[in-house]
Structure 1
Amino acid sequence: MKPNTKVPKTPFFAAFSVGAVLFSAHAGGGFATGNQANTYYVGLGWTGIISAIVAMLLLTLTMREAMIMYNSRGLKSYKQLFETLYHPFDKIEWAFEVFFYIMVLMAVAAAISGAASALNNYFTINYYVGVVMVGIVVLMLTIFGAGIVRAASTYMGMAILVTAISIYIIGIFKSDSSIFSVLAADFETTGFMNMPKAILNAFTYAGFQCVTLPTMIACGTTMKNKAGCAKAMWISFVMNAVALVLSVFMLMSWQSVYTAVEGGSTIPTLTVCKIIGIPAMVAVYGTCLLLCLISTGVTTIFGFVARFEKLPMFSGIQSAPVRSAIVSAFIIVLSMTISMAGLTNIIKYGYGYCGYLGIAVVVVPFLTVGAYKNRKYCKEHAFANVNSEDAETAPEARSAVRSSAVTAD
């Protein structure tokens, strides 16, 4: 029987800070550059709007189940999380490892390269100098633990949300083509023809965005119950869905314009801002884009660092920040090498194929088996960290809960 434990309420700001981590991670490539939105949604017409909303729903529901499983059992790593999810077939956990390593490399490569390009465009800073500057900022934000990531993502998330929505609304109203007429014309032409592709793109998009899962479970340990996990992810769903849909609306209104410009589809939002001709908006967009890409790099690398800094090869290094710095520096250098392939190729091919893998090893398992195991487990057990201010305290109790979790599953 489930212990009689008083369930603490989750303050809005605490839930918002966790939800903002996912929003900040998604923001950079997801809608700030416009490249992902253009690749996966704009070409689908009106069904692209539905696809974008479904993708955000799938992503946040997946993260919710992952956070519930992680926090309720008191797990300490995403390796334990996926072993619990796949139990009794624990070794399938390596499928996520493969997906995660590849996606981290590509996501960080795209983020740092894009941020360096933004510095070059707006402040005429040499691209390679920009790479070093961005790399240092990302490095500093990833070596000091989950608290700094939560705080940085919260404030960057609020700044990104306000500036991005303002830009999209201005772009929509400044377009010569009404978004409603564009959608109506598309519906008359294509009907439901693109719906199968829209559904596949929704799952694919949610699949590769799951690269942020290790960061989310590390930063989400402040959620002490199912309601808290759900609250954080519903807040994140609203933030992500609104911004992504507005991005798609704006790009649809300007599609015929930016596609006619050479290279205009690489960062279509930038192309639109320049065509509109409002200098202040271009400057705001540059700041927004830079924040988005840095936050994406930070949240993505953080999960990687949390996994590898505990390897035996680093056991001789007593300082946690030093261990984190070594791992983070390694992945940053390697990612920059991959970035030479170009942003569009990384998103279209690398993200796309990893998205298929993410559907199979993350999204579908968590929304089916994971949801079932969580429902069953939470009926019989209290959350492992429900009586603790720090998710890392009471290790004996957490170990006992993990043992009972395997039995329950």
Structure 2
Amino acid sequence: MKKVLPPYLAIAFVWFSAHFGGGFASGRQIVAFYLNHQWTSLFMPAVSMLIMAVTFYFSMLIAAKYEAYDYSSWSKKLYGGVAPVMAPVFEVLFNALLVLVTAVAFATGGATITRAFGSSYMLNTVVIAAIIFVLTIYGADLVRKSATVVSLILIACIFIIYIPNIIHFYPDIVHNLAALKSGEIATGSPDTFLDSLWWGLKYGALQCCAIGAYIVHTKACPDKASIKKVAVVGFFINTVIMYMTYFGILAFAEKGVLTEAVPALFVVMHGVGGAWMTALITLCIIIGAVSSGVALVYGTTNRLVIFLGRNLTEEERAKKSGKHAIFSSSTLVIACWLVAQFGLIPLIGKGYGNIGWVSLLVLVLPILMRGFGIWRFAEDVVETAPAK
């Protein structure tokens, strides 16, 4: 990694690629957490990413100080004396997010295909579920290796789609922002600053749920200065892309984009571009949804396989691992498919929203309290801090 990128920059891109998958590329998250609320939501993407950057920074400091690079041992260091209670709560929250994100991947792909080709949403999700199941069993390694490439393609698509539309429809963006401020464009949410702030806080906390995927990379830059660079660079990259999506979708607020399941598809169909851009974003969103779904199902499947074989001998585990994998994967895929039938809009609006406020209380506040020295344990005074 050091031969290609400085470690802090590489970790910032890990944060970047994990944040922006098929669900974000659809544009629905920006609508649900920001554009569906008061005009002051304009400031909230920066607030959300600031919360995540500070939380990310303190989390990596804890990981480096105690050399706790897996989320299980890290959570014990975070919660200290209350870890026997809070660590399992964090585990439940983390796995609930995995199921919900996988369901959103199903729903994103299904809604995108429906919007582009008019086929049945349920049928589309069945096809995506089948593809994810097959890849999980037979081709997960290939898909996981291509995850970074898929993420970079999605990021490139965001630039290709939104930059021309932001430039071309700049007057519409200014007009629609004023219409949001005056109430001419109804958001369907309480018209208050606190409502916008609450949803901005929930989005930042939601993203912090995946902190376990980031802390393992602390090994690459365990010193405080490098960790600070990760937080600053990651904040800048993520915030810029969020505002690009925010303004690109805002340009079409008066044309009904806020009620669309896949706002990004609406933008390319009604904005600058053409049929080729519609095909491009459709393909990328589907690939992103399948890739993230496979990665999550595959990871959870492995944990279930270990659990199912916990009382078996090594020979018996090896013999039954294939059957256990098929059973675990099919169970997870079916469960996530059932959740996906609620539809993309409620999954992101209600599902992610609820996970967000729980994470704010269970995870973000304890991390911030530990980081700012409000909540301390006896072992915190031990001189094991990372090198300067």
Identify which of 34, 50, 56 aligns with 2:49: 56
Q: Which amino acid aligns with 1:201?
A: W
Q: Which residue of 2 aligns with 1:231?
A: 229
Identify which of 285, 292, 296 aligns with 1:289: 285
The Cα offsets for residues 110-156 of structure 1, whole Å up to 9 and x where unpaired, read as 11332355467668996233332244446667669xxx95x644333
The Cα offsets for residues 195-229 of structure 1, whole Å up to 9 and x where unpaired, read as 21121111111222233222223455433333333
Alignment of 1:182-197 (within 5 A): 182-187=176-181, 194-197=192-195
* CA distance in structure 2 between the partners assigned to 1:334 and 1:143 by the alignment: 23
In structure 2, list runs of 5 or more residues that go unmatched: 185-189
1:248 is displaced (CA, Å) by: 1.2
Q: Which residue of 2 aligns with 1:363?
A: 364
- Relative to structure 1, the CA distance from residue 185 to residue 97 in structure 2 (aligned partners, 3 Å threshold; closer, same or farther) is same
* CA distance in structure 2 between the partners assigned to 1:225 and 1:329 by the alignment: 43
* CA distance in structure 1 between the partners assigned to 2:223 and 2:295 by the alignment: 23
1:170 is displaced (CA, Å) by: 2.2
Identify which of 91, 102, 115 aligns with 1:108: 102
In structure 1, list runs of 5 or more residues that go unmatched: 1-8, 387-409
Q: Which amino acid aligns with 2:283?
A: T
Does residue 263 of structure 2 align to residue 268 of structure 1?
yes
Q: What SS does structure 2 have at the residue aligned with 1:89?
A: helix
1:345 is displaced (CA, Å) by: 1.4
* CA distance in structure 1 between the partners assigned to 2:116 and 2:181 by the alignment: 38
**Percent sequence identity over aligned pairs:** 22
State the TM-score, normalizing by the size of structure 2: 0.79
Identify which of 63, 67, 73 aligns with 1:74: 67
* CA distance in structure 2 between the partners assigned to 1:330 and 1:230 by the alignment: 41
* CA distance in structure 2 between the partners assigned to 1:223 and 1:294 by the alignment: 31
1:356 is displaced (CA, Å) by: 1.1
Q: What SS does structure 1 have at the residue aligned with 2:210?
A: helix
* CA distance in structure 1 between the partners assigned to 2:360 and 2:180 by the alignment: 29
* CA distance in structure 1 between the partners assigned to 2:349 and 2:162 by the alignment: 23
1:164 is displaced (CA, Å) by: 0.6
Q: What SS does structure 1 have at the residue aligned with 2:260?
A: coil
Q: Compute the RMSD of aligned alpha carbons.
A: 3.8
Greater alpha carbon shift after TM alignment, 250-259 vs 81-90: 250-259
The Cα offsets for residues 4-28 of structure 1, whole Å up to 9 and x where unpaired, read as xxxxx99735434433333233223
The Cα offsets for residues 343-369 of structure 1, whole Å up to 9 and x where unpaired, read as 111112221112111000111111221
* CA distance in structure 2 between the partners assigned to 1:65 and 1:10 by the alignment: 27
Identify which of 89, 93, 100 aligns with 1:99: 93
The Cα offsets for residues 251-289 of structure 1, whole Å up to 9 and x where unpaired, read as 2110121349xxx52112212211236112212212332
Greater alpha carbon shift after TM alignment, 324-333 vs 264-273: 324-333
